[in-house]
Amino acid sequence: MTLSLLFEQLLNGLQLGTMLFLMASGLTLVFGVMGLINLAHGSFYMVGAFVTAWTAGTTGSFWVGLGAGILAAAAVGAVVELLVIRRLYHRQHLDQVLATFALILIFSEGTRWLFGSSPLWLNVPEALSGAVALPGGSRYPVFRLVIIAVGVLVAVALFLLISRTRLGMRIRAGESDREMIGALGIDIAKLYTLVFALGAALAGLAGSMIGALQSVQVGMGEPVLILAFVVIVIGGIGSIKGALIGSLLVGLVDTLGRVFLPSLFKLFMTPAEASGVGAALASMLIYVLMAIILAFKPKGLFAAND
């Protein structure tokens, strides 16, 4: 193991972690404020990626596509909240799970109908297509560093929004006592729509950025959604700080485990056995991490009500 490889994989883990934070922060906001289990959150990630790829391909500008993807995800989120989610707030969690799972199927088939079954491809903007030198002599893509920077900026912006603004005060109040803020004359329905659209926009931003690193295809949001749920369980449901710490933990553990576990097992196994066993165990590491944390902190690291 070289220093350059370790540094590169640490950055890869941070990049995965910040992308997961964009997903998990919206998901934990929605659950914390509304008490809603939204399995369709990954669909907004997919919507952002598809709209960005299609718009960038049509206009020739990644930045126009990025703006369109974020706005489209937010708009779709607001419409979904108005038409479907609003009817689920006072229903049991099982009803919420079934309804939002149905939305996954609707979004998947609707996206396939609009854009076709073939993947779309989104090019990294030329200004961000270079690489920077890392310690040890290897080079790392600038665009991946930009994803990390965007995640940090979003984390700071969310912290300021939640802690320093009137909207943030209402969101915090909505997490602790929904009936009271309604009695004070605050429009709960408008607040819920705004929070849901914000969460969808963050998911759309994640999909738009990651779309430049992988193919944009139907169903791309579901694997990320599973990781986002792991993040908010580890970090604590309803906690933005927990979503940030949990996402970085999951990103680093998953990335480093997949790279270094097979090498570790090669010390006492044949290369073929080490690759198989290492890959299998690496895929389980984040769930082992979640189980260990929940054994000591059943509500997660930073439960919102602690």
pLDDT tens for each residue of 272-300: 777 777 778 878 888 888 999 999 888 88
128: buried, middle or exposed (CB in 10 Å: 19+, 13-18, 0-12)? middle
> What global pTM score does this model have?
0.87
- SS3 track for 184-198: CCCCHHHHHHHHHHH
Axis-axis angle for helices 221-235, 188-210 (nearest 10): 120
Helix (H, G, I), strand (E, B) or coil at 132: strand
Residue 72 in this model has a pLDDT that exceeds 90: yes
Using alpha carbons only, give the angle 46, 147, 27 rounded to the nearest 5 degrees. 50
Give the pLDDT band of residue 43 (cuts 50, 70, 90). Answer: very high
List the Cα angle 204/207/211 in 5-degree steps. Answer: 140
Q: What is the mean pLDDT of the chain?
A: 85
pLDDT for 25: 87
Question: Tens of pLDDT along 199-241?
Answer: 999 999 999 999 888 888 998 888 888 888 899 989 888 788 8
Taking the C-alpha atoms of residue 51 and residue 68, their distance in angstroms, rounded to an integer, is 7
Q: Check whether 152 has a pLDDT greater than 70.
A: yes
What's the pLDDT score for residue 55?
A: 93
- Highest average pLDDT, of 43-52, 183-192, 279-288, comes from 43-52
Q: How confident is the model at residue 148 (pLDDT cuts 50, 70, 90)?
A: very high
Residue that wins the pLDDT comparison between 278 and 76: 76
Alpha carbon distance 14, 151 (integer Å)? 9
Residue 135 has a pLDDT of 74
Lowest mean pLDDT among 12-16, 188-192, 251-255: 188-192
Domain ranges in the chain? 3-219
What pLDDT is attached to residue 87?
85
Element (H, E) at 175: helix 166-176
Give 82: exposed, middle or buried? Use CB within 10 Å, 0-12, 13-18, 19+.
middle
